[in-house]
Chains A and B, each alone.
Chain A
Amino acid sequence: MLQGTLIYGFVNSVILALIALGFNLTFGISGVANFAYGALYIFSAYTAWMLLTWLKINYLISIVIAVLLTSLLGGLIYKFILLRVRGMPISEVIASFGIGLSILEFFRFLGFVGSEYTLPVFIDGSVSIGETYIDIQRLLIVVIGIALVSILYLFTHYTKTGLAFRGMAQEERTALILGINSDKMATFSLAIGSGLAGVAAITILPLGQVAIEGGYSALLNALAVCIVGGLGSTGGILVASVLIGYAQTFTATYIGSHWMMIVSLIAILVILIIKPSGLFGKQKELEERI
């Protein structure tokens, strides 16, 4: 029992980290809190489903197309809408929230509700670790999660674009002086963040069904992890998702699955009272927050 909870808690932590990665990347680099994140997450899942079911394209290819389309959509949203209100946080939040709402509710209007909207698992079957049976999809989530974090680490530390990203995140004006085009970088950051949302959706959603509410809860989970971990710090995200992930799983096992969502709220409130900058937040983030 306990062993199973520990394993499933770990999987849940990786899921949370996957969901939060893209949101965190976008915010850390461009300073835009992308409230359309949940919608992009669901958009990629539905796109993959449509390609797979209606056009009967190979699953792998439809995944790639769906992720690329999501990333393109994210880039376009920045280029044509958010760029115009950049630097005005209120307008950024309202505009991106409006976009997300329109996308999600448009899917609802088109009738994408029901149990037939499921994505197939990558590899069927399950293995046992000790006494616990775990399906291969969950193991794959862990593998993909770890791979993505390592790729992102290598990308931001060893490529020119990645270094430009970090430069932007640290000090935008100095980055401008050094010839980094901040608008272009911010567009890229939104595109990559949205692409990550797409990857997360396609890895995670085969576990359940694709539903519009999933978009809202993905956004809430991303927010919770980012607030607890400290926005913009990848280490903080990892620690926070382990904390919240285990807390959620233990709550679901020993108290009741209804209480799972409340855990994130309590985590947010507690961290805001004790350490408002987040677990790994630095002085700069503290200034932005209070």
Chain B
Amino acid sequence: MEYRKERIDRGIKARTEDIYALFSYREMLYLLLPRVVPILILLLLTLMVSVYWQKVLISTAVFALLALSWDLLTAVGMVSLGQALFFGVGAYMSGILNHDFHLTPLLSIPVATIGGGVLCTILLLPVLRLRGIYFAMVTLALPLMLVRIIEATKIFGGTEGLSGLSGLPSIRFELYLSLLAVLVVLFFFRRLINTDYGLVLRGIRDNDRSVMRSGINIYWYKAQALFLASSVGAFAGALMTHVYMFVGMPVFEMDYSILPIASAVVGGMGTFAGSMLGAFILVPLSEALRGVGGLRIVIYGLFLVIFTVGLPEGIFHYLQRKYHQFERWVKVEK
């Protein structure tokens, strides 16, 4: 006798899909639980952990922002291998505004967010027409080249970087600002991708020719998505600049390009929540693995390979399936 596994949506999932969700507390709870519980856990964590782990949480949030920005670009069919570009441009812009123009961080971060987004979009504008791996190649090259330019021209402090920047009021402020930003971006992107506008973006990924044929200028849409994604990355960079009170060439490092991709791959692409979950698993893990030093990047690399080949759906999709569906074994009829 042969059996096969059957997956069926839970009744409560069907009942909560529409306005009927408001009919009972149980169904409202079913909808609220996966959204509220993670936020509560985050809040509890911020209150309980030591100062050292609060710093780790801030950098986790920064990587989560980069992963969310990567996920948005991928949802439009642009695979970026250079998130460090967005991060670095935001970080330098905020650093220069603070160092040379003496803007307070509360002003320089928003300006760097928008300005960084605009600058990255302009930098990548000529290659927006490229698809797939060609776009990936250029994004891989750009941050590495920018480092060379800074090294060669000795602008912005050259190899030394800019130090002695002003910090944010307190570590609690930094912590809540970064976590709030992650949650806002997460829910904004999740909503955006399900609107009509998001449908066009996903259409460009699936079949750009047919979107063009519908009379839509896909390059304009791609530029907008790129602006959104790079602004988020630039915000992460600007925030990090003021947390460390320093900006230098390390902001273009490989870490900032690889970890976001690893997070998205481990957590599950395409849902944004997955990327965030991945970042919240990988960054504390790498902090715990600090003892192994250089092996860290090797481990990320292996994570990338194992998850893309062995578990391409990622952790979040797995959890989501368990939550919404039940499984049972049924006999195969011959």
* A residues with CB within 8 A of B: 33, 35, 81, 84-85, 89-95, 97-102, 105-106, 108-109, 216, 219-220, 223-224, 227, 256, 258-259, 261-262, 264-265, 268-269, 272-273, 276, 288-290
Partner of A227, one of B74, B134, B297, B312: B134
Nearest neighbor of B262 in chain A, beta-carbon distance: A98
Partner of B81, one of A93, A109, A227, A264: A93
- Extra pairs beyond A35-B140, A105-B295, A289-B131 (14, CB < 8 Å): A35-B81, A81-B305, A89-B133, A90-B132, A95-B304, A95-B308, A101-B298, A105-B294, A109-B294, A220-B144, A224-B141, A227-B137, A258-B151, A288-B132
Q: Are A276 and B136 in touch, CB under 8 angstroms?
A: no
Given known A-B contacts A81-B309, A106-B298, A109-B295, A262 and B149 have beta carbons under 8 A apart: yes
Partner of B127, one of A35, A224, A272: A272
Q: Are B145 and A261 in touch, CB under 8 angstroms?
A: yes
23 contacts between A and B (CB under 8 A): A33-B137, A35-B140, A89-B133, A91-B312, A93-B136, A94-B79, A98-B303, A98-B304, A100-B301, A102-B302, A109-B293, A220-B140, A224-B141, A227-B138, A262-B148, A262-B149, A268-B141, A269-B127, A272-B130, A276-B130, A289-B129, A289-B130, A290-B129
Q: How far is the CA of A276 from the CA of B131 in the complex (A)?
A: 11
Q: Are B301 and A99 in touch, CB under 8 angstroms?
A: yes
Q: How far is the CA of A95 from the CA of B297 in the complex (A)?
A: 14
- Shortest Cβ distance from A185 into chain B, in angstroms? 20
Q: How far is the CA of A100 from the CA of B304 in the complex (A)?
A: 11
Instruction: Collect the chain A residues with CB atoms within 8 Å of residue B169's CB.
Output: none
Q: How far is the CA of A91 from the CA of B141 in the complex (A)?
A: 19
Q: Are A102 and B129 in touch, CB under 8 angstroms?
A: no
- Shortest Cβ distance from B216 into chain A, in angstroms? 16
Q: Are B301 and A102 in touch, CB under 8 angstroms?
A: yes
Partner of B145, one of A35, A90, A100, A265: A265
Q: How far is the CA of A169 from the CA of B59 in the complex (A)?
A: 45
Q: How far is the CA of A273 from the CA of B303 in the complex (A)?
A: 36
- Shortest Cβ distance from A213 into chain B, in angstroms? 10
Q: Are B132 and A89 in touch, CB under 8 angstroms?
A: yes
Q: Are A265 and B142 in touch, CB under 8 angstroms?
A: yes
Partner of A90, one of B79, B138, B151, B305: B79
Q: How far is the CA of A7 from the CA of B293 in the complex (A)?
A: 44
Does B103 count as interface, using CB distance less than 8 angstroms?
no
Does B258 count as interface, using CB distance less than 8 angstroms?
yes
Given known A-B contacts A93-B136, A108-B294, A224-B141, A101 and B151 have beta carbons under 8 A apart: no
Mask: chain B, 260-285; 1 = CB below 8 Å from A; 0 = not: 01000100000000000000000000
Q: How far is the CA of A106 from the CA of B295 in the complex (A)?
A: 7
Q: How far is the CA of A264 from the CA of B141 in the complex (A)?
A: 9
Q: Are B130 and A93 in touch, CB under 8 angstroms?
A: no
- Which of chain B's residues 42-75 have a Cβ closer than 8 Å to chain A? 74
Partner of B148, one of A98, A106, A258, A288: A258
**Which 3 A-B pairs have CB atoms at the shortest separation, nearest pair first?**
A98-B304, A258-B152, A102-B301
Q: Are B148 and A94 in touch, CB under 8 angstroms?
A: no
Given known A-B contacts A106-B298, A289-B131, A273 and B126 have beta carbons under 8 A apart: yes
Q: How far is the CA of A100 from the CA of B309 in the complex (A)?
A: 15
Partner of B309, one of A95, A105, A258, A268: A95
- Shortest Cβ distance from B210 into chain A, in angstroms? 15
Does B300 count as interface, using CB distance less than 8 angstroms?
yes
Q: Are A261 and B294 in touch, CB under 8 angstroms?
A: no
Q: Are B298 and A97 in touch, CB under 8 angstroms?
A: no
Q: Are B74 and A90 in touch, CB under 8 angstroms?
A: yes
Q: How far is the CA of A269 from the CA of B142 in the complex (A)?
A: 10
- Shortest Cβ distance from B294 into chain A, in angstroms? 4
Nearest neighbor of A99 in chain B, beta-carbon distance: B305
Q: How far is the CA of A269 from the CA of B294 in the complex (A)?
A: 34
